[in-house]
Structure 1
Amino acid sequence: MPVRRATTWREVAGAQCGLIARRQLVELGYHDHYTDSRVAAEQWQLVSEVVVCTTTGTLTREQLMWAGVLHAGRGSAIGGLTALERRGLRNWHRDEITVLLPKSHNLQPLEGVRFVETRRPIGLFATGRLPTWRAEPAALLCAGYTAGANTALGLLAAVVQQRLTTPGRLLEDMRRLHPLRRSKLFRANLQDVAAGSHSLAELGVARMCRDQGLPLPDRQVRRADASGRDRYLDCVWHLADGTIVILEVDGGFHMEVGHWESDIRRERDLVTTGAVVLRCTSREVRDVPERVAASLRAVGVGRSSA
C-alpha cells in the first residue's frame, strides 16, 4: 500500500523536529510571502536563508542537526562524530555538528554546523528519517582525516569497545571507502582489536610487540588476586617456566589520587600471587616503546615465553 504524501507544512515540519526548508514549503504550495508573513508575525523564525523553524526560542541539538541537513539540501547527511553520537558513542562529544554534502556546493555557513564536502556516495551510507551515516563509515572517514593517528586509532577502538560495530564490519566498509587515508594502519590495528585489545594503550602494546620482536600478550585476562577478587589485566605473558608477567599500562587518569591508590593496592595483590608486574605509561608505549620492550625482555618475555 503506497505511503500517503504529506500535504501540509505541519505534517512535514512535525516529522523534522519543527524545521522545514523553503523549497519544501513551495512544493506544498506555500510561497515565500506566506513564510515571510509568519516570520514577521514572530510565529516562525528564520534559521538560514533557506530554512525556517516553526517554533520560537533556541534550537535544540536535534533541531540544529535538522537545520544543517535542510540547509545543505538533498543528498546531505549527518556524519563524523555527530553521526556516531546519534549511534550511541560516548565520551567523544563535540559541540559542532558535522553535515556531509556533495562536492562543489556553494553553501552559506550556518552557526554551530560544520559542512564537509565529500565525493563519497553519501546516500549509500545514510539511514533514517534524519539522514545519518552508519557507524562504520562515519568512524572510518572521521578517523582517516582527524589530526593525529593516535586519536584516529582511539576512535576506532572506542566504537568497537562500545559495541557500535565490529572489526569485521569496519574492515568491510574500508573496502567500500577505498581509497582511505591511513587504511594500512587501520587494518593492522583492527586485527588487534579483533584479537582482544580494548583500548588505545593495548593497541600500542600490540604494535610495540610487533616492532620489537616480542610475542603478543593475552589481553583483558581475568585473574584472581591474593584476596580472591577477579581482576581484568591489560596484557599477560605466560612464560615457559610457569612465570606470569603482567604489564599494566597507565593513562592520565591513573595520576588521580583515588586511582593511584587503587592501582598500588591492585599491584600489591597481584604480586603476592607470584606474578611479575611491570607498569608503564601510555606515553612510554607510544614514544619510547624500546624501553618498555627492554624491561619485558629483562624479566624473560621473548626468551622463555610458552
Structure 2
Amino acid sequence: MPSDGASGLEWLLFEQAGVITWTQAVAELTPSKVRHLLSTGRWRRVARNVLITQGGQLTREQHWWVAVLAAGDSALLAGLASARAGGLRGAWRSDVVDVLVPYGKRAPDLLRRLPLGLPAVRVRRTRHLPDVDRQRGRPDRTTMARALVDAAQWAPGDDEAQVILAAGCQQRRVTPAEIDAVIERMPQLRRRVLMRQTMADVAGGAEALSEIDFVRLCRRHRLPPPDQQERRKDARGRVRYLDAYWRRWRLHAEVDGAHHMDARHWAADLRRQNEIWVAGDRVLRFTAFDLRRKPEYVVTQVRAALEAAGWCEGP
C-alpha cells in the first residue's frame, strides 16, 4: 500500500499490479524518462502499449492486467479468467486469457503476439454486453454469472461446460437464477439448451457433474427422480449431504469421484455408509467411471434396489 504522500504513478502501479500502458506512463513521466526506464531494464515492454514496471515472473493478476490493457479501451476480463478473478477455484486450464470488447470496437489480435512465458490473449467481440454484466475490479471484468456462461460456451466440450457451471454454483459464487438471467439475455448463446438443462438440474439439488449425469440417467430410463442433496445429521450431529436419496423407498445412491480413493475420504465414506445402514436405508455406490461408461449396469442396480424396496414401474 503506497504511503499518504505517494505520487499518482505509485498509486496507479499499486492498483494495476505494476502493469501500465505507455499512455498512462507518459501522463505521469516524460517520454524520455519512460524510454530510459525501458532501455536500462528497470521496466519491460510486453505488448505494443503495455509495460511491466518490475522484474521476475509475472503473477496471475499481472497476466490479467496485461490482457485487459493490451486489448484496449472498453476491454473486460472474461470467461474463466474473470471467474477466477472473482474467486472460482479449480484446476482450470489457463493457456489463454479471454477478454471481451463491444462488437465493432477495434482491438488488436493478441492470440499469438505476446512474449514467451505469457498466456496468449484472445479478444472476443460481443453484441450483448449490458451494464448489468459488467463489474468493477482489478482489472474490470464481467460478473461471475456472465463469466461462467461465457466460459461454458467457449469450453472445448459439453462436459467441461457443465463442470464450469456446476462449480460456480457448488462453490456458492453464483446462483442458478443469476446464470439463467444471463442465458435469457443471450438468445444466440452457444450451448444455450445444455446450459438451461444444467441449471435446472442444479436448482433441483445436483451440483457435481456426476450427480447431474445420474439424474439424467434416471430420467432417461424412466426411473423415479431422486430427492437430491438430502440433508441428514450424522451420529455427531453434523449435517451431511447425500448425493441422491429416494425418501419414499429409503434408498441412497452415492457417486464416488477420484477423491474418494484417498484413504481419509475412504474411511469417512465407510463410517457414513455404516450410519446410513444402521438407520435402515439401503445404500448403492457407483464410481463416476461406471456412470459414464457402464450406464446399463447403474440402471440395473438402481432398478433392482427400488423394486426390492417396493417400487413398481408403471406402464
1:276 to 276, 282, 286: 282
CA deviation profile, 1:243-274 (whole Å, cap 9, x unmatched): 41111111112122332333233223322322
User: Which residue number in structure 2 is paired with residue 143 of structure 1?
Assistant: 152
Distance change (3 Å), C-alpha of 1:230 and 1:24 = closer
Matched, 1:295 2:294: no
Q: Say which of 107, 110, 122 aligns to 2:109.
A: 107
The CA deviation at 1:101 is 4.2
Match of 1:23 in 2: 23
| Distance apart, 1:9 and its partner CA | 4.5
- 2:98 equivalent to 1:89: no
Q: 1:260 to 1:79 in 2, by over 3 A?
A: same
Measure how far apart 1:46 and its partner are. Answer: 1.9
Q: 2:167 aligns with which of 158, 162, 165?
A: 158
TM-superposed deviation, 1:25: 3.9
Letter of the 1:262 partner, please give it.
Answer: A
The secondary structure found in structure 2 opposite 1:107 is: coil
TM-score (normalizing by structure 2): 0.82
Compute the TM-score of the two structures, normalised by the length of structure 1.
Answer: 0.84
Could you tell me how far apart the structure 2 residues matched to 1:196 and 1:235 are? 9
2:181 corresponds to 1:172: yes
- The answer on whether the counterparts of 1:205 and 1:285 sit within 8 Å (CA) in structure 2 is yes
Q: Which amino acid in structure 2 is aligned with residue 298 of structure 1?
A: A
**Which SS does the other structure have where 2:58 is aligned?**
coil
In structure 2, C-alpha distance between the alignment counterparts of 1:143 and 1:72, rounded to whole Å: 22
1:248 is matched with 254
- Distance change (3 Å), C-alpha of 1:11 and 1:253: closer
Cα distance, 1:292–1:178 mapped onto 2, change above 3 Å: same
Superposed, 1:42-57 pairs within 5 Å as 42-57=41-56
In the aligned structure 1, how far is the partner of 2:77 from the partner of 2:23? 20
| Contact 2:145–2:182 (CA under 8 A) maintained in structure 1 | yes
CA RMSD of aligned residues (A): 2.8
Q: Distance in 1 between matches of 2:50 and 2:79?
A: 22
The one-letter code sitting in structure 2 at the alignment partner of 1:70 is L
Alignment partner for residue 267 of structure 1, among 249, 273, 283?
273
Q: Quick check: 256-265 or 84-93, which moved more?
A: 256-265
> How far apart are the structure 2 equivalents of 1:164 and 1:272?
36
Alpha carbons of structure 1 residues 304 and 273: separation in structure 2 relative to 1, 3 Å: farther
Aligned to 2:291: 285
Give the unaligned 5+ runs of structure 2.
1-6
CA apart distance, 1:236: 0.8
3-state secondary structure, aligned to 2:42: coil
Distance across 2 between alignment mates of 1:73 and 1:225: 55
* Displacement of 1:31: 6.2
Quote the Cα distance in structure 1 between the aligned partners of 2:159 and 2:84.
Answer: 20
Is 222-231 or 152-161 further displaced after alignment? 222-231
Alignment partners' CA distance in 1, 2:181 and 2:236? 44
Conserved in 2, the CA contact under 8 Å of 1:80 and 1:138?
yes
Segments of 5+ residues of structure 1 without an aligned counterpart are 1-6
SS at 2:47's partner residue?
coil
Shift of residue 123, structure 1, vs aligned partner? 7.0
Deviation at 1:190, TM superposition (A): 0.5
Deviation, 1:229, is 6.5
Partner of 1:208: helix, strand, or coil?
A: helix
Residue 211 of structure 1, aligned match among 187, 210, 220: 220
Q: Which residue of 2 aligns with 1:61?
A: 60
Residues 101 and 115, structure 1, Cα contact 8 Å, conserved in 2: no
| 8 Å Cα contact 2:167-2:208 kept in structure 1 | yes
Distance across 1 between alignment mates of 2:168 and 2:211? 15
Of 221, 231, 246, which residue of structure 2 is paired with 1:237?
246
The 3 A distance-change label for structure 1 pair 182 and 31 is same
Q: Residues 42 and 220 of structure 1: is their aligned pair in 2 closer, same or farther, counting only changes over 3 Å?
A: same
How far, CA to CA, are the matches of 1:210 and 1:148 in structure 2?
22
Contact 1:226 1:272 in 2 (8 A): no
C-alpha distance in 2 between matches for 1:177 and 1:195: 23
